[in-house]
Amino acid sequence: MRILYRIRQAWRAAVVKPRPSDEFLVNKMLTPSMLAKFNQLKPYDQAHSIQIYHRLVQAGEIQNDLLVAALLHDIGKICYPLSFWERVVIVVFKSLFPEASQNWGKGDPSSWRRPFVVAENHPAWGSKIALEAGASPLAATIIDRHQDPVAFSKNGKANLAGDQDQISDVDFLVYKLQLFDHQN
């Protein structure tokens, strides 16, 4: 069933674009340099980031660094833009062979492993790009860690309503971003 979800997700990537009404929001949230980088993202990645931003706001989020990170979390993908078919390969192989996909991500982006390298490394690349574009160190850290497992210290659970004392402040912000990133 998960593979069908992933195939639908890949298909959406081919057709989804940001709504014109979101242009004002993005212009308001990002500095001109951050906006220039955001505009280099593929339309699907822009729409995906905007959707995560909206979900965080609907959940009551007001932390500016987290909201900026939501918009820029995939900015590292501008280093090696992927075609629709490369995205499909990543989605399918990560679902079927997660460990192998992660290992392939440690290769050279100029090799056949390119899609996996981008999937694995875009958070670190994005963090650097975001910092250079003027994002705060906290926003850059959230971007860098948006695919990392969050370390919980007590019962292994947290939620948006509270229980922040179980994890660090940064982990909690990363966790919030991940909640909506994984739903998309």
Low-confidence ranges of the chain (pLDDT < 50): 153-156, 159-162
- How is the chain split into domains, by residue range? 2-181
What is the model's pTM? 0.84
pLDDT at 3: 62
d(CA 5, CA 68): 28
d(CA 113, CA 107): 6
**Quick one: DSSP state of residue 80?**
S
User: Do 10 and 87 touch, CB atoms closer than 8 A?
Assistant: yes
The dihedral region occupied by 162, where left means phi > 0, alpha psi between -120 and 50, and beta the remainder, is: left
Q: Residues 113, 180, 9, CA angle at the centre, nearest 5°?
A: 50
pLDDT at 12: 63
pLDDT at 8: 66
pLDDT tens per residue across span 68-103: 999 999 999 999 999 888 888 887 888 889 899 889
